[in-house]
Structure 1
């Protein structure tokens, strides 16, 4: 498996797509029920292949990932084979970027000595989707890039 098996809830949400996937494998409902009952390992392998296919499709369309922790914010912009990043760090130990107050504090103090911002760029031409999945596994959230865009504009002024 390249990624992670979809959860039961995710599989239920993707039920129509899973049925189509099984159909492309020439597996009908009766055969699927038989696999689950008599050959559970093969059924699990089919779910794993489907999971990888869904993750691959989703990750191919990812453009932005945000990751928040108490004192850090990591913002990623994925363009072709490159990931551009901003790492925002608060040196004020009372700051909590996991709270609305922490985000408000950042907007008021972004250019203060208590905030450090680093920029980065990484080539991920080898294993783009796997690299993005690792960020997501560590707590990254697929986003629309609003924060990245705002920070990009602020820093270019």
Structure 2
């Protein structure tokens, strides 16, 4: 397995897609039920293959990621061969970017000496999707890139 198995909730959300996936393998409901009871290891393998297919599709379309922690915000723009980042760090210990108040504080103090901002660029050391998946495993999530674009446009001007 290249990535990780989808959760029970994710699999339930993707139920129609999973049915289609099984159909492409000539597995109908009766066959699936039989597999689960008589050959659970084969059923597990099917779930793993399906999960990898879904992850591969999601990661291939990923363009922006965000990761928030108490005092840091990591913004990523994913390209084909490299990833660019903007890292914001609060130099005020009480700041909590995980709260609405913390984000408002960031908005009010973005370009003051209380915010440290770093910009970076890194070539992928592994395959693009594997690198993006690792960031997701560490707590990043897919985003529309609005925050990245806003801050980047200010930095560029």
Name the TM-score, length of structure 1 as normaliser.
Answer: 0.96
Specify the alignment match of 1:62 in structure 2: 62
Q: Quick one: distance in 2 between partners of 1:12 and 1:106? A: 38
- Residue pairs, 1:117-156, within 5 angstroms: 117-124=117-124, 126-156=126-156
Specify the alignment match of 2:100 in structure 1: 100
1:80 aligned counterpart, secondary structure: coil
Q: Quick one: distance in 2 between partners of 1:139 and 1:105? A: 22
Q: Quick one: distance in 2 between partners of 1:68 and 1:48? A: 29
Q: Quick one: distance in 2 between partners of 1:137 and 1:126? A: 15
**C-alpha distance after superposition, 1:43-102 (max 9, x if no partner):** 000000000000000110010000000000000001222111001001110111111111
User: 1:21–1:50: 8 Å Cα contact kept in structure 2?
Assistant: yes
Specify the alignment match of 1:82 in structure 2: 82
Specify the alignment match of 1:30 in structure 2: 30
Q: Quick one: distance in 2 between partners of 1:12 and 1:109? A: 43
Name the TM-score, length of structure 2 as normaliser.
Answer: 0.96
Q: Quick one: distance in 1 between partners of 2:68 and 2:118? A: 15
Q: Quick one: distance in 2 between partners of 1:122 and 1:156? A: 18
Stretches of 4+ aligned residues off by more than 3 angstroms: none
User: 1:81–1:125: 8 Å Cα contact kept in structure 2?
Assistant: no
